[in-house]
Structure 1
């Protein structure tokens, strides 16, 4: 049999067709070039945190009439580092008197690290201003955030008032006033107002500022401005009141002396000097007057007091009957 010779290109075509068919059926893998290794990951970029700021503060800046049992609460925009909230970075100080002296108290931080608190050990004083300061050393709990720029705030506590009633008809006549009807003091009130203490005396009947009138009255008011019985001097109320009333338990630094001519003077007991005159306002059976804070060297007006009033000859009525009245808390 004769041998047939096929042209070379015919075998090439058959080979290519077979390869294509096998590739289509998944039986042959076509060679590929060398694979490239993946690039190693670069350094992780730090997360940029927002600035640490104060989102809220209680009492609000400039608040007035703040209760004396309040706490200071500062809310942050994100958690803070507990190690940076302490007595050096978070302080509450009292304004005059005693400006710049830190208030003793407890500092706390909420579990989520977002709210710092300050609770005074003995409460705040009435009618007093306080400054709140957070130092720029406070830091966020996470690294990488912008620094804290600090905080300054202030508030004023509520004013105080006190009043006491006295039984009508309990005035006691002194040895030289038997021929006179003693003025019967039936009520006393004192309130802390702007600039001074406002006193109101209420009598059972009208009183008269004329020195020669049978309805003229005199009075003494003992003021214990530091509310410490161990300091100051014995007041005039204890000197005039009857033994049945007991001691006022006051250490008076100042005494208001109401004169028969319708005026009053303030005496500095410690220095034995008069610090100023006080005008009285008469309206029937009510007498009012104001003692400026500056006169008693006490900018907040927190004090203990006792009052005794009488005729132009003798002190005959006391308020309160025992002990003393307390106005506010120092």
Structure 2
């Protein structure tokens, strides 16, 4: 965890005495099988130093009375001042701040926004629809329109699920949530015991953690730009097809509505959009269950 490594560097820069405190805690934890208690180090550390390590999340409480050092290897590397590891950690921290977004992700987002204009700008819609019709037109000529929408919904549901599984770092998102929960618990404890200094320090840490929350939101949105980049052209083709073919596409029988045209509003949405969403969401849920894919944050 490069974040722990960076926290150690920040602490030792702010207070050189923290280096000795960290060395003592690390040595004691290694001697005790990975855990350390205040009673083990109270002769070498001040209570303020001990509290600082807990507040920064370098020490994490266990089920008992002890604490464990988060990322002992990272702490040791930071204390040893390994230049190579510092460079690697700095690079990783930069990636953390950017939440894994690459130049290609940003370009994909811009392209998706440009394609989104096709819903209102007919030249873009006609260009995208006419291009995709070269591939999808023969399929539409062979199958009923409801079957074409079903197939496209299944395909888009497949790649949407795979993109979410591969582009979302659920472990890192879990770390973000775990850190926020720890801060909230420490804040509550500090308030209960009336430690105003600790409350102020934890408040500062809460403000810093807000950046992590923004990072998690960006991470969750990352696969969406690629999903939109592929899905929007499919939607534009469906919209273009409904506008240009109209009654030639036939009708569809919808629950609680009965037989209706594809352009007609059904529960606020046009029938073709509602049918697409029903097919896509249903197939997506089946696919996640079948492949055991989870897009929810998971703890490390």
Q: TM-score, normalised by structure 1?
A: 0.20
Larger radius of gyration: 1
Normalized per residue, which structure has more strand? 1
Q: TM-score, normalised by structure 2?
A: 0.22
